[in-house]
Amino acid sequence: MSATSLDDVRHALRINDPAAVIGLRECAWLDVKGGPYRLDSATGKEELVKDVAAFANAATGGLLLIGFKTQVENGEEIVSELGPIPRDKVDLDQHRKLIRTRVVPPPRGFTVEWIDCGDARGVLVIDIPAQSQTQRPFVVPGPSGNDKASERSVAVPVREADGTHWLPQSEIRRLLALGWAEAGGPSEEVLSALVTEAVSAASRAADAARPAHEVGVGEPGWRRPFREAYERARQLIHLGRPTTEVYRIGPGVAQEFESGGPADGWIICALPDQLPVTIAESVWDALHAAGSGVPDGDVLGALGLPFIEQDSTRAGRVVNELATVVELRGGRWGTGLLVRADSGCPWP
C-alpha cells in the first residue's frame, strides 16, 4: 500500500508494511534516519530525547523511523528505499527508559517498536501521539555533552517543517512570562534572568565537552558558500566560531555563530541557489517572534529567510542589529518584509 498521511503511515507500520513509507518526504510529522541512535554516547542520548520531545510539542505528534535511506529532491529529503538496521544495535528498553526519564513530562502513549525485515535486521519505529495542549511544552535537560543529564537547565525542542531545532531563548522567556504572570508568579524580569542563566549554564557545559563545529559543515553542498560568506562578513563584524552545524530550516539552511565580541551572536543563512546572508541574532529572533502564531509552527517555512540580491553592493551581505527592513523570500506566504520605524524601535 502507499501511505500519504500520518494515519496512513501508522496503519502501514501496524501491519508490518514499512515499504509504504517510500516516496514520502520528511515533514512536520515524519523524521527518517538511516542509522540507529548511538545511545552509548551522551550526544546520541541527547539527540533521541530532543527528537521525541519536539514531536510531543507538535500539535500532530509524529513518527521517528530508523532504517530508511533518503535522497534530496528539489531541496527536500525523500524516503528512497528501505535500509534495515541490525537488531543487535538497538535496545528497545533503553530507548523507552531514556524517553521516560529525560522528557518532562513523559509523553503519554508513546511506543518504541521493532519491525523485523529478516536477516536479523529491521526498522525501529518511535511513535509519539498528539499530546494534550495542557501538557506542553515538553522539555529535556539542557545539552551538556556529558553522560549524566543536567539537573539545572532545560531546553525546549520544536519541530519546524522537516527539521528539529531548539526554541529560541526569547520565545522561552515570552512563554514563561505569559504563563507565570497569569498565575501570579515572578515578574518578567526575574524570568528573563532565570532563562538567561539556564541557557548560559547549558552553553558553558556544552562548550567544554563538545568538539568545535566547522564553518559550512553539516547539510551537504554549503561548505564553500558559507566559508566565503564567513570571511566576507568578518571584514565588517565580530564573527566568532560556529556553535552549530549547517542545518535545514524553513525553505533553506542556516548555521549559528558566536559574536566574537560584546554584541549578540550571528546566523549565516541561505536559500537554495542563492548566496548566503549574515544576520544578527537579535534580528533572527525578531523574525521568529513575528511568525510565532503560524498555525503549524513552521515559522520560517511560512515567512521565508532573509534575502539580498545576488548582485547587491550591500557591504558584506550583512544584516546587522540596526537594520530596519529585512526582505524575506522562499516562504509559503510569498515575498515579504520585516519592518520597523527605526533602529531604536522594537520589531512588530
pLDDT score, position 260: 67
CB atoms < 10 A from the CB of 149, how many?
Answer: 18
- Structural domain contains residue 173: no
Per-residue confidence band for 150, with pLDDT thresholds at 50, 70 and 90 = low
Residues 158 and 238 in one domain: no
Check if the beta carbon of residue 191 is closer than 8 Å to that of residue 213: no
Checking if the pLDDT of 169 tops 90, the result is no
Residues 161 and 22 in one domain: yes
Q: Which of 167, 189, 210 is the last residue of a domain?
A: 167
- Structural domain contains residue 38: yes
pLDDT score, position 42: 87
- Structural domain contains residue 315: yes
Per-residue confidence band for 202, with pLDDT thresholds at 50, 70 and 90 = very low
Residues 43 and 132 in one domain: yes
Checking if the pLDDT of 113 tops 90, the result is yes
Per-residue confidence band for 126, with pLDDT thresholds at 50, 70 and 90 = very high
Residues 142 and 285 in one domain: no
- Structural domain contains residue 180: no
pLDDT score, position 198: 47
Residues 16 and 144 in one domain: yes
Checking if the pLDDT of 210 tops 50, the result is no
Q: What percent of the chain has pLDDT over 90?
A: 44
Identify the residue whose cell numbers are 553522560.
147
Q: Which positions ≥6 away from 236 have C-beta within 8 Å?
A: 315, 316, 318
Q: Which of 146, 167, 188 is the last residue of a domain?
A: 167
- Structural domain contains residue 217: no
Whole-Å CA distances, 198 to 152, 253, 284: 7, 27, 21
Residue length, the chain? Answer: 348
Mean model confidence pLDDT for the chain: 83
- Give the type of residue at 66: I
Q: Which of 123, 141, 167 is the last residue of a domain?
A: 167
Checking if the pLDDT of 208 tops 50, the result is no
Residue with the bigger pLDDT between 34 and 347: it is: 34
The Cα–Cα gap between 256 and 259 comes to 10
Residues 17 and 88 in one domain: yes
Checking if the pLDDT of 334 tops 50, the result is yes
Residues 139 and 266 in one domain: no
- H or E segment and range at residue 52: helix 42-57
Over the range 267-284, which residues count as b (16 or more CB within 10 Å of their CB) and which as e? bbbbbeebbbbbbbbbbb
Q: What is the mean pLDDT of residues 88-110?
A: 91
- Using a 10 angstrom Cβ sphere, with 0-12 exposed, 13-18 middle and 19 or more buried, the burial of residue 346 is exposed
Q: How many helices (H) and strands (E) does the chain have?
A: 8, 19
Report the candidate in 206, 194, 314, 319 with the shortest Cα–Cα distance to residue 254: 319
Residues 155 and 50 in one domain: yes
Per-residue confidence band for 189, with pLDDT thresholds at 50, 70 and 90 = low
Residues 126 and 264 in one domain: no
Residues 132 and 265 in one domain: no
Residue with the bigger pLDDT between 286 and 172: it is: 286
- Structural domain contains residue 190: no
Checking if the pLDDT of 52 tops 90, the result is yes
- Domain span holding position 293: 223-339
Checking if the pLDDT of 143 tops 70, the result is yes
- Structural domain contains residue 175: no
Residues 163 and 267 in one domain: no
Lowest mean pLDDT among 51-55, 257-261, 300-304: 257-261
Local structure of residue 276 (DSSP, 8 states) = -
Q: What angle do CA 10, 121, 112 make, to 5 degrees?
A: 40
Give the number of domains in the chain.
2
Residues 57 and 154 in one domain: yes
- Structural domain contains residue 215: no
